[in-house]
Amino acid sequence: MRYTLNFDEVNKASLPAVGGKNASLGEMIAAGIRVPPGFAVTTDSYVSFIAEAGIKDEIFKLLSDINPEDIVSLNSASAEVQKLINEALMVADIEQAIREGYRCLCDKCGVQRIPVAVRSSATAEDLPTASFAGQQDTYLWIEGIDEVVRSVQKCWASLFTPRAISYRIKNNFPHEKVLISVGVQKMVNSRAAGVMFTLNPVNGDPSKVVIEGSWGLGETVVSGSVTPDKFVVDKIVMEINERTISPKNIECVYDLKKGEVVHTDVAPDMQNKPCLDDKEIKELVGIAKRIEEHYGSPQDIEWAIDKDLPFPENIFTVQSRPETVWSQRRKEPIIGKKSAYELLMEKALTSIKIRL
């Protein structure tokens, strides 16, 4: 049993131990896809923690009493469970393992107190059939070991938000079976960041990669607080078919002094500039193709471009998960089996419409 595993030690088979998100990062590293370095705090840590901290029985007792239709009871049970987890003293062995993992990461990056992202990585989340992505919390720009440990606990607690609890009850997921792992990963100090899909989410076109991005950290894109630039790229002939450059008036940056992420105004001359150049767009599409190829299914990928590193080492994949909407829908033939004769007849009988 190990409390932590480095990302380069994990793969798909490690999913029960490190959850979907972390397993996927390991897979990507194995496939030669650049991701920020880090390690996973395993589900074993979580299991040991609630057992050894002596809060396990109390947690499941609280949960079993919930009436999911009653919001008040749901909210108060959630709050109590989270409080139990957050306030329990961290188990010494686990803390030691996390400390060791963080120290290695600092050494690797050559930075003391390296800022990291601490993210939950649930074993049920992100599975193609059970997308409840975003239900667990993510803590960014965490510096120093004590903060890291505290954030790990917060992630564990986030398994019991009212939403997560009621979702599981409604879908008959036993609370005991849902385990959680946490990823601790170097923060990318990004000049631009965003998401990309390996198909066009608007119409399901599998020949496209759609990239959305904005200045600064990826939060503005993910949260929708800025209308991002959008690029639609044909991933086979590598043509940029569409570029929509939007006014990106705010960006998220990490404020060193305050030690937190702040929203700042983007300089007026930068607002309408594309946040990616063609070279970067094509590099991202290449990465998207590799990731999709690797998983054998359409993906939804978070990416970031580091401020300091040179191209193309500055381009990171932050995470990748299966695209769930079109991947499940597209089982029906679009055209159906037709002969050249039928197709020609059809074309010959139709005309194009002019709309004015």
Cα distance between residue 75 and residue 309, in whole Å: 45
DSSP class of 3 = S
Among 145, 178, 238, 245, binds other proteins (CB under 8 A): 238
176/342 with CB nearer other proteins: 342
92/356 with CB nearer other proteins: 356
CB of 348 to other proteins, least distance (A): 5
Cα distance between residue 63 and residue 12, in whole Å: 30
CB of 229 to other proteins, least distance (A): 14
Residues with Cβ within 8 Å of 205's Cβ and at least 6 positions away in sequence, in order, are 199
Q: Does 72 bind other proteins (CB under 8 A)?
A: no
**Binding residues for other proteins restricted to 274-293, rule: CB under 8 A:** 278
DSSP class of 181 = E
Tokens found for residue 86: 């957050």
Q: Does 338 bind other proteins (CB under 8 A)?
A: yes
- Please name the helix (run of DSSP H) or strand (run of DSSP E) that holds residue 262, with its range, or none: strand 260-265
Q: Determine phi and psi for 279, rounding to 5 degrees.
A: -60, -45
Q: Does 341 bind other proteins (CB under 8 A)?
A: yes
CB of 304 to other proteins, least distance (A): 24
Q: Does 242 bind other proteins (CB under 8 A)?
A: yes
Region of 97-105, 147-155, 233-241, 247-255 interacting with other proteins (CB under 8 A): 233-241
| Amino acid, res. 9 | E
Q: Does 241 bind other proteins (CB under 8 A)?
A: yes
Total residues contacting other proteins by CB under 8 A comes to 44
- Please name the helix (run of DSSP H) or strand (run of DSSP E) that holds residue 304, with its range, or none: strand 299-306
Query: Which segments within 136-179 are labelled E, that is strand?
Result: 138-142
Residues near other proteins (CB under 8 A): 200, 203-208, 232, 234, 236-243, 278, 330-341, 343-356
